[in-house]
């Protein structure tokens, strides 16, 4: 719900309550998958859904975005009966977690100024988010629209009608820029005119260069569309 992948958007407080209420009535547990929650650019972290509904929510946290993805360490906070079953399921799937990486994380949290490190990440990602939004404002053709994330890693870009971002991807790669086509995030084959852009890894300079290359590819694609007609955005 918070700085979501791929949209970069955040579920509002009233909608959080509505989701919990609907699921409570239907006897359905909510999974709150929140790996980006600490990476807020506006100061205070967004209040977790679990904070107001501990019996209804299984909360998932991860050290992948604030320490190192390669450690493969995360955590779950769940109602006790669910926790017991999660432990059984984990044991049957993977026998045993790596004790070494968990102890490394435990030492890191106990001995290092990790909140300062998260703050440094927030500032770094905010600078990259700003670079991406400025570059999009500057370079994208009319009719394109995009989200303005308040945290996390992603911008969701939607192109004018008649362009298919999956079909366009090889041309983008030939121009040495890449994205994830929107269709990859839908079960029903929609999302064909959208794409996920990530600003977490490249420097602001590389982000500006990448957005510039991408908009050149998009402009070529729109010129093709105008000449030869629309590409179907759904299969
Ligand atoms: C929403 C969301 N949940 C979970 C994950 C996976 O995190 P982990 O590396 O802890 O498996 C990601 C990673 O991209 C993510 O975006």
Identify the pLDDT of residue 43.
Answer: 78
Pocket probe mutation, ligand 1, options 7, 32, 64, 70, max atoms within 8 Å of Cβ: 64
For residues 29 and 51, membership in a common domain is answered with yes
- Residue found under tokens 């998260």: 118
Are 151 and 197 contained in the same domain?
Answer: yes
7 falls within a domain: no
What DSSP character marks residue 35?
T
Q: Is 8 in the pocket of ligand 1 (CB under 6 A)?
A: no
* DSSP state, residue 179: -
Quote the pLDDT of residue 44: 81
Buried b (16+ CB within 10 A) or exposed e, 213-224: bbbebbeebbee
Question: Is the C-beta atom of 143 inside 6 A of ligand 1?
Answer: no
Q: Is 100 a member of any domain?
A: yes
Q: Closest by alpha carbon to 183, among 166, 158, 163, 161? A: 166
Same domain, 102 and 126: no
Residues 127 and 206 in one domain: yes
On whether both 152 and 92 belong to a single domain, the answer is: no
Q: Is residue 134 part of a domain?
A: yes
* Burial of residue 104 (number of CB atoms within 10 Å: 0-12, 13-18, 19+): middle
Residues 137, 181: one domain?
yes
Give me the sign of the Cα torsion angle 110, 115, 117, 122.
positive
Q: Which atom number of ligand 1 is nearest to the Cα of residue 73? A: 10
Same domain, 214 and 146: yes
Indicate which residue's Cα is closest to atom 14 of ligand 1.
Answer: 5
223 Cα–ligand 1 center, Å: 37
Residue 235 belongs to some domain of the structure: no
Give the alpha-carbon dihedral of 181, 126, 137, 154, to 10 degrees. Answer: 10
Tell me, yes or no, whether 3 lies in a domain: no
The domain that holds 128 is classified in CATH as 3.90.1150.10
50 within some domain? yes
Q: How far is the CA of 35 from the centre of ligand 1 (A)?
A: 6
- Name the nearest CA neighbour of 4 among 41, 44, 43, 32: 32
Domain CATH code at residue 79: 3.40.640.10
Question: Are 50 and 68 found together in one domain?
Answer: yes
What is the C-alpha to C-alpha distance for residues 219 and 235, in angstroms, rounded to an integer? Answer: 22
58 within some domain: yes
| Residue 98, domain member (yes or no) | yes
Alpha helices (runs of H) in 140-175, residue ranges in sequence order: 165-174
CB 101 within 8 A of CB 74: no
The residue among 112, 130, 155 that closes a domain is 112
> Of the residues 62, 66, 74, which should be mutated to test ligand 1's pocket, given the most ligand atoms within 8 Å of the CB?
62
Domain range for residue 194?
122-228
The phi, psi pair for 203, rounded to 5°, reads -70, 160
CA of 114 to the centre of ligand 1 (A): 20
Domain count for the chain: 2
Q: Which of 56, 88, 112 is the last residue of a domain?
A: 112
Please report, for residues 41, 114, 132, 214, the alpha-carbon distance to residue 10 in angstroms, rounded to integers and kept in the order given.
Answer: 13, 24, 19, 26
Give the end of a domain, one of 79, 94, 112.
112
Within this chain, do residues 215 and 141 fall inside the same structural domain, yes or no?
yes
Q: 63 C-alpha vs ligand 1 centroid, how far in Å?
A: 9
Residues 24 and 102 in one domain: yes
Binding site membership of 34 for ligand 1 (Cβ less than 6 Å): no
Per the CB < 8 A criterion, the answer to whether 3 and 40 are in contact is: yes
Distance, CA 76 to ligand 1 centroid (Å)? Answer: 13
- Point out the residues of the chain with pLDDT beneath 50: none
What's the distance, Cα to Cα, between the start and end of the chain in Å?
29
**C-alpha of residue 8 to centroid of ligand 1, in Å:** 13
φ and ψ of 57, to 5 deg: -125, 135
């Amino acid at each position: 719900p918070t700085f979501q992948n791929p949209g970069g958007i955040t579920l509002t407080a009233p909608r959080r309550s509505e989701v919990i209420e609907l699921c409570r009535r239907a006897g359905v547990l909510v999974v709150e998958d929140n790996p980006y929650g600490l990476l807020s650019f506006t100061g205070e972290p967004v209040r977790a859904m679990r904070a107001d509904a501990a019996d209804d929510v299984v909360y998932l946290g991860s050290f992948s975005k604030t320490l190192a993805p390669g450690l493969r360490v995360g955590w779950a906070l769940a109602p006790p009966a669910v926790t017991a079953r999660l432990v059984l399921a984990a044991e049957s799937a993977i026998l045993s977690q790596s004790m070494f990486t968990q102890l490394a994380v435990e030492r890191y949290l106990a001995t290092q100024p990790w909140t300062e490190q998260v703050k440094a990440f927030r500032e770094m990602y905010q600078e990259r988010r700003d670079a991406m939004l400025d570059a999009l404002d500057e370079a994208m053709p009319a009719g394109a629209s995009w989200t303005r994330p308040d945290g996390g890693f992603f911008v969701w870009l939607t192109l004018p009608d008649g362009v298919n971002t999956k079909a366009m991807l090889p041309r983008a790669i030939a121009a040495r820029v890449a994205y994830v086509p929107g269709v990859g995030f839908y079960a029903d084959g929609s999302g064909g005119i959208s794409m996920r852009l990530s600003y977490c890894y490249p420097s602001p300079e590389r982000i500006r260069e990448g957005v510039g290359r991408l908009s050149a590819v998009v402009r070529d694609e729109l010129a093709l569309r105008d000449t030869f007609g629309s590409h179907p955005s759904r299969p």
